[in-house]
Chains A and B, each alone.
Chain A
């Protein structure tokens, strides 16, 4: 059976996707700890398939201001991943890298934005590497594009682009503890359906 939307996935396939989410998150957290050069306690990532509006509610409603880092996937797996980050993540990056306290994601300057984008780039690379190693597929990622604004407006970008594919996305909720600070990193992953078929095929999952 051809996969047309996320709704066509059976429970086993959903489990596989969630497990891939877990493996990617672990890799990503390891790279985060290396960069921040402190030990990190990693919580078990929660991976769910949610509708866009459920993702928005999960992050505090449509008008909650967050940072969106948009990364495009190309190669064998095509699609989009997007990090959705709040103040405390930005603050951790800017204080660790150059001792600057961040209070609002709306007040970030060029330097801060570029540091956060680099962080996103490293996390996304680690994430995608995990999937690539597991499957033997070639996946390339774009440099992250940055936007700090209302989460509803940010989420409209993937919602519009994938409107015809699905109203659901894979939502990955990571909790880290870095020297007494709890940091949450949220990511959504939207692979194109053809890429998913290929991914399942490589992993020996029946389609």
Chain B
């Protein structure tokens, strides 16, 4: 069994008894996609909501829309069924309290992720988003369990 690491503004998939991990999500959002029947798991770590608002397009995995779209296509290529694949999401925190719009990027990320998943008709079956703390996500391809760890709260298995 091995753990496949997914960096910031990156994505990956795995199968069998392997898992995916992404560390210390702040305002970023981790999107886990899972086909239960074929045991195919995918994970994307996005930083910003929409690619159309970007001035730099060197890495499209940075944005919710293009990142999820790429993960969706990769899952499909590997044989995942749509419909038949579900989503679990975590992250989108507001690390520093403030009234400024830039600070609320976490909430905007979560909104964008939900809109994109809805467009692709992928149901969200579990969610641990918002609030004000960082999260590490492990996603098990065998069981489809999303484990969310944080510095001061108990670990959640979703």
Among B7, B55, B93, B134, residue most surrounded by chain A Cβ atoms (within 10 Å):
B134
CB atoms of A153 and B25 under 8 A apart: yes
Q: Given A63-B23, A147-B96, A159-B8, check contact A153 B102 (CB 8 Å).
A: no
Interface presence of A53 (CB below 8 A) = yes
Interface size on B, residues (CB 8 A): 30
Our count of residue pairs bridging A and B at CB distance below 8 angstroms stands at 89
CB atoms of B54 and A153 under 8 A apart: no
Choose the segment among A85-93, A119-127, A160-168, A193-201 that binds chain B (4+ C-beta atoms closer than 8 Å): A160-168
Complex formed: what's the CA distance from A83 to B8 in Å? 22
Nearest Cβ distance between residue A159 and chain B, in whole angstroms? 7
Complex formed: what's the CA distance from A146 to B95 in Å? 9
Q: Given A150-B136, A154-B134, A161-B102, check contact A63 B152 (CB 8 Å).
A: no
CB atoms of B55 and A152 under 8 A apart: no
Instruction: Write the A38-73 contact mask toward B (1 if CB under 8 angstroms, else 0).
Output: 000000000000001100100001110100101000
CB atoms of B98 and A106 under 8 A apart: no
Smallest CB gap from B93: residue in A: A153
Taking CB atoms, residues of chain B closer than 8 Å to A52 are 8
CB atoms of B95 and A157 under 8 A apart: yes
CB atoms of B96 and A70 under 8 A apart: yes
Interface presence of A145 (CB below 8 A) = yes
Interface presence of A151 (CB below 8 A) = yes
Complex formed: what's the CA distance from A127 to B101 in Å? 27
Complex formed: what's the CA distance from A149 to B25 in Å? 11
Residues of chain A whose beta carbon lies under 8 Å from any beta carbon of chain B: 52-53, 56, 61-63, 65, 68, 70, 106, 145-157, 159-161, 163-164
Q: Ordered nearest first, which 7 A-B pairs have the shortest CB separation?
A: A153-B134, A152-B24, A156-B26, A153-B26, A62-B24, A62-B23, A145-B96
Residues of chain B whose beta carbon lies under 8 Å from any beta carbon of chain A: 7-8, 23-28, 47-48, 54-56, 62, 93, 95-98, 102-103, 105, 132-136, 150-152
**18 contacts across the A-B interface (CB closer than 8 A):** A62-B23, A63-B136, A70-B96, A145-B96, A147-B132, A149-B133, A149-B150, A149-B151, A150-B23, A153-B25, A153-B26, A153-B134, A156-B8, A156-B26, A157-B27, A160-B105, A163-B56, A164-B54
